[in-house]
């Protein structure tokens, strides 16, 4: 193995920290962490969030094609293959609906919970504790839940 002092200090992960800062600023500046923006979206009263998510999906599709055809490789020169998602009608529809309920009421999805910590510390902490409890309950029940 090649000795790399950066790896020992965990420095190779710093790029993810910087990317996290960038992503948080993008979400914040486009108002994609605002409760009102998601309320509007679910009530179909504004194009804003559809434009953001739809735009991100369309451009990502182009990137996915470039990954697939090997035009863009990862930092180590490997082919990029997105992990296949777990299949199952009930788990995706029902799990998705539970998430949508929480998202619709609180106006927060997963990444924004962490971003909102910088805006509204206490409410975001309560959301985070709830989310950890929810993930914990899922883990405990995972074998008994229908797929």
- Please name the residue ranges forming H helices in the chain: 5-8, 14-29, 35-42, 48-68, 89-106, 110-116, 121-141
Q: How far is the CB of 125 from other proteins (least distance, A)?
A: 9
Alpha carbon of residue 62 to chain centroid: 19
Per-residue tokens: 20: 């996290």
- DSSP, collapsed to helix, strand or coil, labels residue 47 as coil
Q: How far is the CB of 147 from other proteins (least distance, A)?
A: 10
Please report, as residue ranges, which positions from 107 to 146 form the binding site for other proteins (by CB under 8 A).
Answer: 107-111, 113-120, 122-123, 126-140, 142-143, 145
Q: How far is the CB of 3 from other proteins (least distance, A)?
A: 19
Q: How far is the CB of 4 from other proteins (least distance, A)?
A: 15
Tell whether residue 9 is a contact of other proteins (CB under 8 A).
no
Q: Which residue(s) pair with 79 in the sheet?
A: 73
Question: Quick one: which of 3, 5, 29, 69 contacts other proteins (CB under 8 A)?
Answer: 29
Question: Quick one: which of 4, 6, 47, 70 contacts other proteins (CB under 8 A)?
Answer: 47
Q: What is the DSSP letter of 78?
A: P
């Amino acid at each position: 193995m090649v000795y790399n002092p950066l790896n020992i200090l965990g420095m190779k992960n710093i790029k993810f920290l910087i990317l996290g800062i960038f992503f948080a600023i993008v979400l914040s500046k486009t108002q994609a962490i605002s409760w009102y923006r998601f309320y509007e979206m679910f009530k179909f009263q504004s194009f804003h969030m559809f434009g953001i998510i739809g735009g991100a999906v369309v451009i990502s599709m182009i990137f996915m094609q470039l990954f697939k055809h090997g035009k863009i490789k990862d930092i180590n020169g490997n082919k990029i293959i997105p992990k296949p998602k777990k299949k199952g009608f009930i788990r995706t529809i029902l799990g998705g609906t539970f998430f949508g309920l929480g998202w619709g009421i609180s106006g927060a999805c997963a990444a924004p919970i962490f971003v909102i910590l910088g805006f509204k510390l206490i409410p975001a902490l309560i959301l985070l504790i709830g989310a950890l409890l929810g993930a914990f309950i899922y883990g405990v029940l995972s074998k008994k839940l229908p797929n």
